[in-house]
Structure 1
Amino acid sequence: MINIGDKLPSFEGVNQDGKVIKSSKFKGEKLVIFFYPKANTPGCTAEACSLSDNYAELKNGGYEILGISADSVEKQKKFQDKFLFPYDLIADESRNIIDKFGVWQLKKFMGKEYMGIVRTTFIFDENGICTRIIDKVKTKEHAAQILNQI
């Protein structure tokens, strides 16, 4: 997993509109990357909407936002269209980015174990250095978790 002090890994992924987004696009900018398990599920919707509802405040703090899951471009598009998020959602079906960040891990739910994305947010400064990791995400209050520390 990426640790505090690590540099933003080089990556590229396809957003909800089929456009390639490269990590180099964010050079010189502060960046919030949130990994979520599945588009259009209650927890992921609450998290993404919390960030969307507070987007202006995050932007005023100089932050760009990027959401990433293993969903398809079509699922990301439906999620984007339904909630009109003002930031890109990356479809990482091959898990290239997910694996670089180390968020594909063993999970447990109702006595069953399976592999999946562990909901995690990484915050990078304008030099591309990870300054904070939120691994205990409160979905409905996620923007406040970020804003209270920046």
Structure 2
Amino acid sequence: MSERLQPGDVAPAFTLPDADGNEVSLAGHKGRKVIVYFYPAALTPGCTKQACDFTDNLDLLAGAGYDVIGISPDTPEKLAKFREKESLKVTLVADPDKKVAESYAAYGEKKNYGKTYMGIIRSTFVVDEDGKISHAFYNVRATGHVAKIIKDLGI
């Protein structure tokens, strides 16, 4: 398990397939600010709420110079279904072996209803134009999280 990332850390590089099977890499966004968020599973209530919130605020975020990439352990096929069903506009990428989630410390021990298990820790990272972490949010709530990021970033 990786140590939690802090502002100033270099964001771990990644190249993952999107919902259409095209490769998306963090390096491809160099020179732009990127919001990278990890969520447990497509087509679940909390993750749908969060993805819809990002989609609803995408124009605002893009206008302020931010790209948004959502990462989950789902397959590209499931991500495509999620995107179509919810009319999502954010870039969704698949991390089925959870290696990228691990590199961001967004995969680890979770507790739910008294049970402990390994899973995706809902987390969001803001990466600056130079590929460094400017904000790291762990264990975020799906509801209200996007509004909080917008406020924290002063958009």
In 2: Cα distance, 1:13 partner to 1:3 partner = 23
- Tell me the percent identity: 37
TM normalised by structure 1 equals 0.95
Q: Unaligned 5+ residue runs, structure 2?
A: none
Please state whether the residue corresponding to 1:139 is helix, strand or coil. Answer: coil
Structure 1 segments (4+ residues) deviating >3 Å: none
User: How far is the alpha carbon of 1:127 from its aligned partner?
Assistant: 1.3
In 2: Cα distance, 1:114 partner to 1:90 partner = 23
In 2: Cα distance, 1:90 partner to 1:76 partner = 7
Q: Per-residue displacement from partner, 1:54-89 (whole Å, max 9, x unpaired)?
A: 111111110000000111111111111111221211
Total equivalences in the alignment: 150
1:14 alignment partner in structure 2: 17
Which of residues 112, 118, 133 is equivalent to 2:136? 133
TM normalised by structure 2 equals 0.92
User: How far is the alpha carbon of 1:136 from its aligned partner?
Assistant: 4.3
Q: Unaligned 5+ residue runs, structure 1?
A: none
Residue 52 of structure 2 is aligned to residue 49 of structure 1: yes
Aligned-residue Cα RMSD (Å) equals 1.1
Which of residues 36, 40, 51 is equivalent to 1:37? 40
In 2: Cα distance, 1:129 partner to 1:99 partner = 17
Please state whether the residue corresponding to 1:2 is helix, strand or coil. Answer: coil
Residue 112 of structure 2 is aligned to residue 113 of structure 1: no
Please state whether the residue corresponding to 2:62 is helix, strand or coil. Answer: helix
Q: Per-residue displacement from partner, 1:96-136 (whole Å, max 9, x unpaired)?
A: 21111111111111121110000000001111111111224
- Is the CA contact 1:39–1:75 (under 8 Å) kept in the aligned structure 2? yes
In 2: Cα distance, 1:134 partner to 1:9 partner = 15
Q: Per-residue displacement from partner, 1:25-81 (whole Å, max 9, x unpaired)?
A: 010000000100111111111111111111111111100000001111111111111
